[in-house]
Structure 1
Amino acid sequence: MHYKTVVSTLVLASTLAATPPAKADNVAKQQINNGWTFKQVRGNNWYPATVPGVVQTDLMNNQIIEDPFYRLNERGIQWVDKEDWEYKTTLNVSPDIFDKDNIELDFKGLDTYADVYLNDSCILKADNMFREWKVSVKSLLKKDGNELRIYFHSPIKVDLPKFDALKFPVEAGNDQSENGGIFDKKVSVFARKAGYHYGWDWGPRIVTSGIWRPVYLIGWNDAIIDNIFYEQTKVTPKRADIKAQIRFNADKEGEATLTIKADGVKTVWTKKAQVKKGTNLIETKLTVNNPKLWWSNGLGEPHLYPFTASISMDGKVADTKTIHLGLRSLKVINKPDKDGHSFYFELNGVPVFAKGANYIPQDNFLPRVTPEQYEKTILDAVNANMNMLRVWGGGIYENDLFYDLCDKYGIMVWQDFMFACSIYPLTPELEDNIRQEAVDNVVRLRNHPSIAIWCGNNEIHTAWFNWGWMKKFDAYGVTEQLRNDTKKLFNHLLADVVKEYDPTVFYWPSSPYGGNPDAKCETGKEIWNPDGDAHYWGVWHAKDSIANYNKIKARFFSEYGFQAFPEYQSVLKYAPEERDHNIYSDVMMAHQRGGSHANGLIEWYLLNEYRKPKDFPNFLYMGLLLQGDAIKTAIEAHRRMMPYNMGTLFWQHNDCWPVASWSSRDYYGRWKAQHYFAKKAFNDILVSPIAEDGKLNVWIVSDRLKATKGKLDIRVMDLKGNVLFEKQSNVTLPANTSQIQFSAPIESVLGGKQKNEVVVNARFIENGNGEVVSNNYFFTRFKDIDFLKADIQMTSVPAGDGYDVTVQSDVFARGVFLSIDGIDNFFSDNYFDLLPGEPVTIHVTTKLDKETFDKQLKNESLADAY
């Protein structure tokens, strides 16, 4: 049996407008997604199956198991991963494929241990969810009535013997083996499979199997393109130099002609080459003069050029492929400086402050995430002024569509390899499997302009030095062996793959990391990491006060976060019963994977910062406000630190099921207060008032590449709106900087009031367009402020796909939350403050008629929640 891995970058026409390539009649493709059935191997009954899909979704569709996301149903499906499953379909080959000289089966993704049979011949034994498998099948195919059968071995049964054979315990703290009914046997580390499937501290344990990505039958004559690499060797506004490498397979010797053209570029590049039967490589150099550059969100247009490459033989086009390229120079600058080592992203010669979040898979059942959900997830980042997402190492190397959308909308991607928080005992077989996995995915993703960095793993380096792994493994005498495995994998094997296959992109062995494989990078002191990126979890896990975000320094914050439950209307979707409505109920605890410890932290912080909420819905509301305040504090602090710190990626952008977590958008895509607050804190101009050393300092941060002029208006008022202090001044914001634009002793702005009786409102009004950036600041904790009951008036007028609602209050109203029933709606802003007598208008997207909308529309502010 012979098979090899072939990868390609497929751009979905639904996402990106593309010039249709010249038709290559020599290549034909057929998706095998119809007529599939499946069964439990030790059962008798075959049921209809959906491909792509997984066993659990097929069992749900056939009403054999209940939705595991609802109430306590997850507990009842743990038997599924202990069983073997079989899938089969009858394959009739389309005539345009059957007549081809070469026919291959292309499995984009098999999860995970899968034996594939075609007409009873075993053609493949797959053992890695992250790899693509391609098998030549011409000699085995009939025109009609071919049986394609896939036997999925239980990943638990395959890997339990590997666990039992080890002489030391593995380290995989997030593997919820007990929930899976296998005691403390954390087998996740043995499978090249998404780590979060085995559970995480925000996700369920649902270990899937199945045909999780599409299957194609591909027929071709003469030649077929394997992959293309457009290596951008040097890009400036004047010229882009590209080395194009086209790897293709030919089934005969002869002369081939490579032709490359790009929309918007007059030059057509051609090159002739003698080719041999088998794999061939043609390299050629391309130059684009005065290119339109690709910019990240907020800095400019993320321009994409469709580059179309064709291979011709005997005067006929054999194969053609179009790839959308963003021409840009994107580097990580990690160099010695006066404070340690810099760590920042430089795009087209400009230092860019990275603003964004960590991204996890959008569902435990990956094939059911729709293109519309992908687009909404990326647009929710774009619309919150983000320019970066970190694809975290316990999930998957995402679908092509994810990166296509990041390319299209200007979201830079920090891409982890799929390793997180665990020890992976290496064998030669596993090492080879991992190397091929890395090659597959680097080759698949390297043409995306959004790929900004390749990172070896999540938190494995810091785990060795800060989590007590050294001491634990010293007791078994295997520390040296496992440390060597770790360094071999993350400092050599993966680094070498990136160097060979994507040489212009920066590789970072772990996150967090400081540059030395044998030293801790996070100090635990005020300077958290002077040389690289940091995961600061003192706020939350260590009960540091939220104000501590203002003190902790690092060069780049790649993780930090704060938990909250989803809003009440979301909770009703998975915990609808009255008896569920207590954060310690069985159902709410099942949807809180941090356990009672995490719920205790939410309560502790809530009572530390606020007063006691009066009931369950208000506990949820105040918890959301608390989470938003915490992350707002962090983002503003990190941006004020610029250029010492040059990035802030909070944990986390999204959820994989309905749960209490650190996400800013819940599983249903509802924005939490944190997402609304992040949108404002990530604005390209940020006004950030703060008390420092007895002074009220007002910082203004600008990410713009040109200076901006405007007026700074600072008001200090009491909660009834009486202005106690006001100062207006004309200011010029330098490009790409953070500066104090106003400073005064705190006592001088209080107008005789106490600190807990006032609010600071700082506004920047831009010259010319009159755009206003505003921010409120309080000198004390909210629990020490006697907010007044507000009389909030709301008026609505029909507008577009919903209503414009104007909201105003007679007194200062903190955290105004608007809601209507259900979650099929969206508020353009929410959890906002209202200044007395200063109305705010927001848009609500809803299908409700006006009478029903006005009747349902509710509001509350913090004073109502006690």
Structure 2
Amino acid sequence: MRRTIPLPEFGWSVRACGGMSHACVENRVITTTRHALRSIHTVLANAGIQKPIDPLRAELHSEWVGLTQWSASCEVTVPETSAGTECVLRLGTLDGACEVMLGEVTLGTHMSAFVPFEASVPQSLRGKRVRLELRFQAPVSELLRWQAQLGSRPVNGDWNPYCFARTAACSFGWDWGPRVPGVGFSAGNWSCWSDARLLAPSISQVWNDDGSVTVRVAVRGDVGACEQRIELESPDGECIVLAPHVTEHTMRAGARWNPCGRGARHNAFWNARVTLSNDGEFVDTRRARFALRHVELDSALDDIGRKFLFRVNGLPLFAKGANLIPSLVSGGAVGNWRREMQRYRATGFNMVRVWGGGRYLPHAFYDACDELGILVWQDFMFACATYPEDEPFATLIEHEAHHQVARLSRHPSIALWCGGNEDILAWWSWGWKERLTQGQSWGAKYWLETLPRAVAVNDPGTPYWAESPYSGSMELHPNDPDHGDRHTWDAEAKLEGYRTITPRFSSEFGHQSPPSLETLREEFPAEALVIGSSALALRQKAWGGDAVQYQPFLDERFRPASNFAEHIAQSQHLQARAMDVALRWLRANAPRSMGALIWQWNDVWAGHSWSLIDVAGRAKPSWHSVRKACAPRLLSIEPTGDDGALEVVLIDDRAFVDTDYFERNEFVATVEVMEMSGRVVESATVALAPSRIAGLPTATARGRILQSMATGRDSAREFLRATLHNAPTLASATWFLASDAVVALPVPVLTQTVKRVAGLRVYRAETVIRELWIEPVTREPARASRSCWRTLVPGDEVLMRSGARWWSANHFSKHRNGRDNI
């Protein structure tokens, strides 16, 4: 029988053993725990030696850590042979180039954080008390060593050449996070057995032309000559036992796993059990949960170009979601993946992209997505670089690909394997072709051969896409808006400019903002919380700094902020506006556009980034605007008509399930021209008709707004408001006829009423208030979140706690004459 014995939790010693080092660790041995050794930065912080991030100097004081060689060691008792005649040391994650020593014996070296380390223990050491030592190379120095050996290759930014390491690329620096390369390990144990041992089985499925599905069970481990028994237990308890030596079963699917919004999932989960025996005696058993689902990526050519749409169980789906970045050191670490993904789903999202510059995530994340119905776009770990195809990297990456696909294939939430992030794009259009020497490899073999082969072998029922973005062909620009998926970071596509581009699928787009004010107060001393703060400037990693990321948009739209709090609010407000505009535009243009994945969901530190949720877990106003724009049913006013004419657009996710939903029903909207006082000066009804685009199925209903209602008016003092008939709970849509610089928004006034709802005060709007939101204080979603990111007309009511600070576009209007927040 297999026995798993964890390595000691306590008694670990850490010391600097070479490289650049630092006076604070010279001749010093740090006592720590196995848990802390997930990161050398955590070890140093816990010992009071060096925090990875300083409030005033960001990561500048800790850069030496990545230039230092480290040793981590512990006295261990190697299991006796009575625990099993065979014994291996297994480290689930070994991050950094490392030599593993047991006593005087070198068990092996390791160079990838993306596959476990495993080595047989010599019989001569069984039962002995010896020292286990992990000798880590300095991560930055190791990159430079490989670069000198294999030749320089372009990578994004001015960061270290991370293409020469199989670890989280973003730990070496990114445009949203610090440079904190480090080393560490986790999940260390001895695994002992005699006859055989099993690893978790890998489950995959293939859907056949006749509608049946073939479930394949790959038995993994050291099984020797043992007999194998494979059982498939259905959701209703029926047990299917496979014949000896048979590892697959074809059947008609009953209950299928569906994404959120399309039915329950609790009755869709199966269990696969593999049992080993020897002459009738039990040896080992392992089980794995899976569910049946048919996921397809339709990337066929059509009248526009190349489609990019997901079908789940035969039905198309508009993907709504965001990109997930990894935690760095302890910043942004997730303690409860189910709770995190419940909040994610509550945003209105049905897909998450695990971005290629980070790391593969634990089963707890994928389990949560399985249970909550969130589809996973899974990148392989490549990002914004050219990668060597030389050894040892070619073998490392092939091993990684097979290991990770086999590990994750059982999860029904995995909807796409993608080769990586912006590598082909960078080679194509960032001038990198010209910087490579003739014949120098750059990674294309991985994305076009190695990785799709690993998917075909280990998870043939899940689609593969070469890169993101990608047009579906190496002969077309990878960011072509008419073909495949696209990353929209174009200079002209900011805020309202998002409406100038309509991709088939937007897998990245975003707008930068700072963290919430309360988060900044927790992180920085008061003297750093000023406009133009040098401490905050050190946490601005994006190109051009604040002068490019913020100032042009603020200057164009808002009056100068009167204080730091208003500056933060203005910057966050623009992000919320940008995401609102982009999501509404993309959804209004379905089915040409069939996906929107925002950059980014989460954060790693209290710095400038594109996140919806800051590092402390507080929702930025953009989270509220996105939540409203991702509602299953949405009314919007968009310039989708001929020559950019304004139309009322009804968006309803039911149209992807009920294909003649818009043809079968009639929809009528009322459009009003309203003054800033709330007085209606003109009104008209607009019939909405099914919108057909290039022969694609209908996904919206639209109706053109009279030109006289949109042009030739007092655009500074009037705006449009649309409501749908017989839909009292559906939020109205608004369209302001002029830019922020021109619109004369009134001083915003909310009056407290005597009413209370769920402990919150009810406030009534006395004026038109554009895009109201409430400043977050707690880390939990505010109970008043339904009141956030609303445009109010006189008489509308909102909920908030007494004394809450709230903001709106009215506060920032150039016509406000410098009045402070109310």
- TM-score w.r.t. the length of structure 1 is 0.85
Q: Write out per-residue CA displacement over residues 253-283 of structure 1, whole angstroms, 9 at most, x where no aligned residue.
A: 353433332442413314334xxxxxxxx51
Corresponding residue for 2:69? 84
- Structure 2 counterpart of 1:201, which letter? D
Aligned identity (percent) is 25
Q: Does 1:136 align with 2:120?
A: yes
In structure 2, what is the Cα distance between the partners aligned to 1:28 and 1:571?
44
Q: Does 1:858 align with 2:814?
A: no
In structure 1, what is the Cα distance between the partners aligned to 2:314 and 2:567?
47
Q: Write out per-residue CA displacement over residues 23-73 of structure 1, whole angstroms, 9 at most, x where no aligned residue.
A: xx6544535433323222254432232334211111000100135153314
The 3 A distance-change label for structure 1 pair 65 and 248 is closer
**3-state SS of paired residue (1:243):** strand
Q: Write out per-residue CA displacement over residues 170-221 of structure 1, whole angstroms, 9 at most, x where no aligned residue.
A: 2112353xxxxxxxxx33221111110110011100011111x311222234
In structure 1, what is the Cα distance between the partners aligned to 2:191 and 2:344?
36
The 3 A distance-change label for structure 1 pair 400 and 240 is same
Correspondence for 1:466 among 422, 429, 448: 429
The 3 A distance-change label for structure 1 pair 818 and 259 is closer
**3-state SS of paired residue (2:292):** coil
Conserved in 1, the CA contact under 8 Å of 2:787 and 2:798? Answer: no
Corresponding residue for 1:568? 517
In structure 2, what is the Cα distance between the partners aligned to 1:741 and 1:654?
35
Moved more, 426-435 or 232-241: 232-241
Q: Does 1:45 align with 2:28?
A: yes
Corresponding residue for 1:197? 171
Q: Write out per-residue CA displacement over residues 685-726 of structure 1, whole angstroms, 9 at most, x where no aligned residue.
A: 121112444743101111112338676443332111112234
- Structure 1 counterpart of 2:775, which letter? S
Residue 116 of structure 1: CA displacement?
1.2
In structure 2, what is the Cα distance between the partners aligned to 1:239 and 1:805?
56
In structure 2, what is the Cα distance between the partners aligned to 1:111 and 1:799?
51
The 3 A distance-change label for structure 1 pair 511 and 370 is closer
- Structure 2 counterpart of 1:863, which letter? N
Moved more, 55-64 or 144-153: 144-153
Q: Does 1:808 align with 2:791?
A: no
Conserved in 2, the CA contact under 8 Å of 1:296 and 1:387? Answer: yes
Q: Does 1:206 align with 2:180?
A: yes
The 3 A distance-change label for structure 1 pair 781 and 50 is farther
In structure 1, what is the Cα distance between the partners aligned to 2:320 and 2:338?
19
In structure 1, what is the Cα distance between the partners aligned to 2:318 and 2:117?
39
Correspondence for 1:283 among 208, 230, 247: 247
Residue 669 of structure 1: CA displacement?
1.7
Moved more, 419-428 or 687-696: 687-696
Conserved in 2, the CA contact under 8 Å of 1:796 and 1:804? Answer: no
Corresponding residue for 2:482? 530
Corresponding residue for 1:610? 558
- Structure 1 counterpart of 2:348, which letter? N
Residue 621 of structure 1: CA displacement?
0.7
Corresponding residue for 1:397? 360
Q: Does 1:774 align with 2:739?
A: no
Alignment map for 1:757-836 (pairs within 5 Å): 757-764=717-724, 771-794=729-752, 803-819=759-775, 823=779, 826=782, 827-829=784-786, 831-836=788-793
- Structure 2 counterpart of 1:48, which letter? T
**3-state SS of paired residue (2:48):** coil
Correspondence for 2:632 among 684, 690, 693: 684
In structure 2, what is the Cα distance between the partners aligned to 1:413 and 1:820?
29
- Structure 2 counterpart of 1:402, which letter? F
Conserved in 1, the CA contact under 8 Å of 2:58 and 2:178? Answer: no
Conserved in 2, the CA contact under 8 Å of 1:232 and 1:242? Answer: yes
The 3 A distance-change label for structure 1 pair 637 and 480 is farther
Corresponding residue for 1:432? 395
Q: Does 1:330 align with 2:295?
A: yes
In structure 2, what is the Cα distance between the partners aligned to 1:662 and 1:443?
33
Conserved in 2, the CA contact under 8 Å of 1:765 and 1:773? Answer: no
- Structure 2 counterpart of 1:51, which letter? R
**3-state SS of paired residue (1:271):** coil
Residue 763 of structure 1: CA displacement?
3.1
In structure 1, what is the Cα distance between the partners aligned to 2:241 and 2:691?
43
Alignment map for 1:158-173 (pairs within 5 Å): 158-165=142-149, 169-173=152-156
Conserved in 1, the CA contact under 8 Å of 2:542 and 2:549? Answer: no
The alignment's C-alpha RMSD in Å is 2.9
Q: Does 1:636 align with 2:588?
A: no
Conserved in 2, the CA contact under 8 Å of 1:702 and 1:733? Answer: no
In structure 2, what is the Cα distance between the partners aligned to 1:100 and 1:715?
79
The 3 A distance-change label for structure 1 pair 143 and 862 is same
- Structure 1 counterpart of 2:767, which letter? V
**3-state SS of paired residue (2:440):** helix
For structure 1, list consecutive stretches of 5 or more residues without a partner in the other structure: 1-24, 177-185, 274-281, 523-527, 845-852
Correspondence for 1:547 among 493, 496, 504: 496
In structure 1, what is the Cα distance between the partners aligned to 2:240 and 2:222?
23
**3-state SS of paired residue (1:676):** helix
- Structure 1 counterpart of 2:483, which letter? D
- Structure 1 counterpart of 2:636, which letter? S
- Structure 1 counterpart of 2:215, which letter? I
Moved more, 139-148 or 224-233: 139-148
The 3 A distance-change label for structure 1 pair 763 and 495 is same
Corresponding residue for 1:4? none
Alignment map for 1:226-375 (pairs within 5 Å): 226-234=199-207, 240-251=213-224, 253-273=225-245, 283-287=247-251, 289=252, 291-303=254-266, 304-313=268-277, 314-365=279-330, 369-372=333-336, 374-375=337-338
Conserved in 2, the CA contact under 8 Å of 1:197 and 1:205? Answer: yes
**3-state SS of paired residue (1:773):** coil
Conserved in 2, the CA contact under 8 Å of 1:701 and 1:737? Answer: no
**3-state SS of paired residue (2:143):** helix
In structure 1, what is the Cα distance between the partners aligned to 2:206 and 2:148?
49
Conserved in 1, the CA contact under 8 Å of 2:114 and 2:359? Answer: yes
Alignment map for 1:492-507 (pairs within 5 Å): 492-507=449-464
In structure 2, what is the Cα distance between the partners aligned to 1:256 and 1:833?
61
Q: Write out per-residue CA displacement over residues 366-410 of structure 1, whole angstroms, 9 at most, x where no aligned residue.
A: 8x82432x3343223201111111111111111222211111111
In structure 2, what is the Cα distance between the partners aligned to 1:101 and 1:795?
76
The 3 A distance-change label for structure 1 pair 209 and 265 is same
Corresponding residue for 1:386? 349
Conserved in 2, the CA contact under 8 Å of 1:353 and 1:646? Answer: yes
The 3 A distance-change label for structure 1 pair 427 and 747 is same
The 3 A distance-change label for structure 1 pair 504 and 808 is same
**3-state SS of paired residue (2:410):** coil
**3-state SS of paired residue (1:498):** helix
- Structure 2 counterpart of 1:272, which letter? P
Correspondence for 2:715 among 755, 765, 780: 755
In structure 1, what is the Cα distance between the partners aligned to 2:675 and 2:498?
27
Q: Write out per-residue CA displacement over residues 797-818 of structure 1, whole angstroms, 9 at most, x where no aligned residue.
A: 8877xx3342321001123232
Corresponding residue for 2:42? 57
Residue 824 of structure 1: CA displacement?
6.3
In structure 1, what is the Cα distance between the partners aligned to 2:227 and 2:355?
45
For structure 2, list consecutive stretches of 5 or more residues without a partner in the other structure: 19-25, 813-817
Correspondence for 2:600 among 627, 652, 669: 652
In structure 2, what is the Cα distance between the partners aligned to 1:576 and 1:765?
53
In structure 1, what is the Cα distance between the partners aligned to 2:101 and 2:14?
14
**3-state SS of paired residue (2:142):** helix
In structure 2, what is the Cα distance between the partners aligned to 1:395 and 1:828?
31
Q: Does 1:74 align with 2:30?
A: no
- Structure 2 counterpart of 1:126, which letter? H
Residue 290 of structure 1: CA displacement?
5.2
**3-state SS of paired residue (2:182):** coil
Aligned residues: 788
- Structure 2 counterpart of 1:112, which letter? G
In structure 2, what is the Cα distance between the partners aligned to 1:140 and 1:807?
77
Conserved in 1, the CA contact under 8 Å of 2:97 and 2:109? Answer: yes
Corresponding residue for 1:699? 649
Correspondence for 1:99 among 74, 77, 83: 83
In structure 1, what is the Cα distance between the partners aligned to 2:122 and 2:769?
71
Residue 825 of structure 1: CA displacement?
6.5
Q: Write out per-residue CA displacement over residues 433-473 of structure 1, whole angstroms, 9 at most, x where no aligned residue.
A: 11111111111111111111111121111112221222333
The 3 A distance-change label for structure 1 pair 72 and 261 is same
The 3 A distance-change label for structure 1 pair 765 and 39 is farther
Conserved in 2, the CA contact under 8 Å of 1:197 and 1:206? Answer: yes
